Structure 1
Amino acid sequence: MLLSCLLLSHPALSNPEQSSEQELAQVQEDIRSTEQRLKQQQQAFAAAEKQLQQADQTLAEAGNQVRRQQQALDRTQQRLQELESEQDQLQQQFDEQQKRLAEQLRSAYQLGKHDYTQMLLNQQDAAQLERVLIYYQYFNRARMQQLQAIEATAAQLQQVQVELQQQQQQLTEQLASLQQRQQQLQSARQEQQATVQSLQALLQEQGRQLEYLRQNESSLQATIDALKAKAQQITMDGLTALQGRLQWPLQGQLLQRYNQAREGGLRSRGILIAGSEGAEVAAIANGQVIYADWLKGYGWVLVLDHGEGFMSLYGHNQSLLKEPGAQVAAGEQIALVGRSGGQASAGVYFEIRDKGEAVNPLSWLQSR
């Protein structure tokens, strides 16, 4: 009797159908909860990626503003040096003209010891009178010319001094503006680094590091494939004749080599060269810009077409200095070193592609 009561009192045994329904409801609730959590993770990840792109954009703009302001400052300083040199030359010229005028005045004084009026009235020596008249005319013309030259030099000197003052004022304003831009750049760098750390923490928390790397590689390969058709329209000499003699895009330590193993067994298709933020990135050879934009995982990327199916790629830049369609020469500045796209340290990611396939850049660049 007691056993029967216990069996009846157990919910699973007393009503098997009701128990199955409860279990099904619990499973459905778990599924909904998992889907909701996954959706929230995806939203958080998408927001982090968007925030990273915005941080890279802000930093690029700040970097370009600093560069433009520095170039304007350099031009002003150069103009100041030219004006100071011109001022020195004009001052020397002015002093020399005054010296010559003084000599002329002394000569005129010596000539003036002759009694000019008496010689005219006396007229005993017509030849001497004629010579004196010629001398007076000569000295008068010389004095007038010298005075005009002194007046012109003085006007030039005054004009240079006015421009010097204007340039010095402009220089002071540009220095203040540059300092402000540099502070904005520093704030943008700090914001970018905080965003990178936030994204990395989110990837680790969600266990999506490998998936993220694979997505980035797929995005890059899709971009390269799309550029192949565009590259076929450009006629250039390619890189074959320059193999082993191409200049480096940046001088720095190699942080990652070609074909080096990465997380999840992935292999690097390029090299990563360490550099200082804001340093200049150079084109390895003559080429034309066929891509200059932000790319997921690689930040600000610039791609050059060198003809004959050869392309070079420069990633993780702070900002880009060239736009699509621009012709560039070997060694020309094309970007500034950065850490865009989620890179932990400053540097340039560099690839060489031959008909879309990655090749070892170290076999093409100059040995060092």
Structure 2
Amino acid sequence: MNEFERAYNVGKTLCIIALALISGQVFGQDNEQEKLAELQAELRARQQVLDNSKASAKELADVLKASELDIAKVAKKLTQTNDNLRQLQAEQQGLQQEQSSLKAAIRQQQSLLSSQLKSAFMAGHYDYAKMMFYQEDAKTFERVITYYQYLAKARQSEITKFKDNVARLETVTASLAEKAASLLALLDEQKNQRAVLLTRQNDRKKTLAKLNQTIASESERIAALQEDEKALREAIEAARIAAQRAAEAAQISLDGLAKLKGKLSAPVEGRVRKLFGNRRQGQVRWKGIIIDGEEGDAVKSIASGKVLYADWLRGFGLVAIVDHGEGYMSVYGHNQALLKQAGDDVRRGENLALVGRSGGQASPNLYFEIRHKGKALNPTAWFN
């Protein structure tokens, strides 16, 4: 092989190698582009799932809110029905006592009238005629006439009382029949309301389970809690500003809670399950306390004041905020129903709401806060 042939072969080999290298680089770039496209597609898919999850969580939160508001309405109606039942039963008991007294009086009057009529029959016509036709002494005759007239008036008075009592007995008996019918109707209404309440609570339980599945991860849960806390802070700040404006406009002054520290009663009886300042989740800490209670138990205002907020709030359910003056406020959450409206005055120890599990709670409890000028305080330090 001469020099020319060797040079030709070397050049040919180099060209083949160069072509191989170039095609390899192009093929590698194509692979990277494909992987990038796949990754971007997966990210878009995951983002879509996340967006759908957020939309689903919002939709479920709205359903939960509607369910808890329905429960509040039914629970409030049930409370009113129970109050009406107690009043009706008291009225019924009073009428039954009056009925028993009337029956006893009628029996006594019947006995007395029977004795009087028997005496009049035994001595009546014969003696009366004899006295009239055979009486020689005019004065004696006059006394006898007066005596018989007195007896007649006495009998007539007893007869009138007897008739009045019989008429009253008929009225009372009719009233008792009406009360009994009303009582049966109220008992049926109570039964239906309890059934509706149970249905609403079961619906809420299912919705809550779905919502908890949707917000499953730790980061999502913390973000949700932070959003809930932000919503409550905003509601409290709005209530504080409203209280300040109302006080300035009305030129009124509530006494605040400073002098009541260590003297207040808890708003509901029960075990304090979550303490102020304890870690809630992640870096989120409790700004109030959780008190376990029985569903439907009364939630009482810790002190006199004015209700500034009474509505459903994300994460806290049905919430009441009471202004006590001097920048002090108390917050009551997770209620089943609110018994007061914004603008209502409330006295110390007066029923404000009913213990519930609104705001996505698994068990009935009260979420309670005390704040001064927007700053959360430890509520247990204020209880006696």
Q: What displacement does 1:36 show?
A: 2.2
Match of 1:299 in 2: 317
Identify the residue that residue 237 of structure 2 maps to in structure 1: 225
1:290 corresponding residue in structure 2: 308
In the alignment, the residues of structure 2 paired with residue 115 and residue 262 of structure 1 have an alpha-carbon distance, to the nearest angstrom, of 102
Could you list the per-position Cα deviations for residues 259-314 of structure 1 after superposition, in whole angstroms to 9, with x for gaps in the alignment? 11111121111000001111111111111111000000000000111111111110
Unmatched runs of 5 consecutive residues or more in structure 2: 1-12, 248-252
Aligned twin of 2:73: 61
Match among 161, 172, 176 for residue 149 of structure 1: 161
Give matches, 1:168-247, under 5 Å. Answer: 168-205=180-217, 207-232=219-244, 233-234=246-247, 235-247=253-265
Match of 1:330 among 345, 348, 351: 348
TM-score normalised according to structure 2 size? 0.88
Taking the TM superposition and a 5 Å limit, the aligned residue runs for 1:242-261 are: 242-261=260-279
Q: Does the 8 A contact of 2:243 with 2:323 survive in 1?
A: yes
Shift of 1:24: 6.0
* CA–CA distance in structure 2, aligned partners of residues 14 and 250 of structure 1: 73
Tell me how far 1:20 sits from its aligned partner.
Answer: 7.0
Q: CA-to-partner distance for each residue in 1:98-133, whole Å, 9 max, x for gaps?
A: 233234334434652753334333341212211110
Deviation at 1:19, TM superposition (A): 6.2
Aligned to 1:122: 134
- 1:23, distance to aligned residue in structure 2 (A): 5.8
Give the CA deviation at 1:78. Answer: 1.2
- What residue in structure 2 maps to residue 345 of structure 1? 363
Per-residue CA deviations over 1:234-262 (Å, capped at 9, x if unaligned) read: 32111111111111101101110011111
Instruction: Provide the rounded CA distance (Å) in 2 between the counterparts of 1:224 and 1:290.
Output: 9
| Equivalence for 1:13 | 26
Deviation at 1:27, TM superposition (A): 5.3
Range that drifts further, 101-110 or 182-191: 101-110
SS in 1 for 2:204: helix
Offset of residue 223 of structure 1: 0.9
Count the aligned residue pairs: 364
Deviation at 1:216, TM superposition (A): 0.5
Query: Pairwise mapping of residues 19-34 of structure 1 onto structure 2 (< 5 A)?
Result: 22=34, 25-26=37-38, 28-34=40-46
**1:271 and 2:283 correspond:** no
The amino acid of 1:134's aligned partner reads T
| Alignment partner, residue 262 of structure 1 | 280
Distance 2:101 2:173 in 1: 13
2: CA distance, partners of 1:15 / 1:164: 96
TM-score of the pair, normalised by structure 1: 0.92
Distance 1:14 1:87, change over 3 A: closer
CA-CA distance at 1:67 after TM superposition: 1.4
**Alpha carbons 1:41, 1:206 under 8 Å: kept:** no
CA drift at 1:41: 1.7
What code does the residue aligned with 2:26 have? L
Number of the residue aligned with 1:77: 89
- Structure 1 contact 316–349 (Cα < 8 Å) conserved: yes
Q: State the Cα deviation string for residues 337-368 of structure 1 (Å, max 9, x = none).
A: 111111122100000111111111111111xx
Contact 2:68 2:204 in 1 (8 A): yes
Distance in 2 separating the partners of 1:292 and 1:257: 24
Is the CA contact 2:307–2:346 (under 8 Å) kept in the aligned structure 1?
yes
Report the Cα distance in structure 2 between the residues aligned to 1:281 and 1:185, rounded to whole angstroms: 19
Query: Structure 2 CA distance, aligned partners of 1:144 and 1:19?
Result: 121
Deviation of 1:324 after TM superposition, in Å, equals 0.8
User: Which residue identity is paired with 2:211?
Assistant: L
Contact 2:131 2:144 in 1 (8 A): no
In structure 2, how many angstroms separate the alpha carbons of the residues matched to 1:77 and 1:144? 38
Contact 2:261 2:382 in 1 (8 A): yes
1:142 is displaced (CA, Å) by 1.2
CA distance in 1, matches of 2:319, 2:181: 39
Once residues 321 and 5 of structure 1 are traced to their aligned partners in structure 2, the CA distance between those partners, rounded to angstroms, is 85
Computing the radius of gyration from Cα coordinates, the structure with the larger value is 2
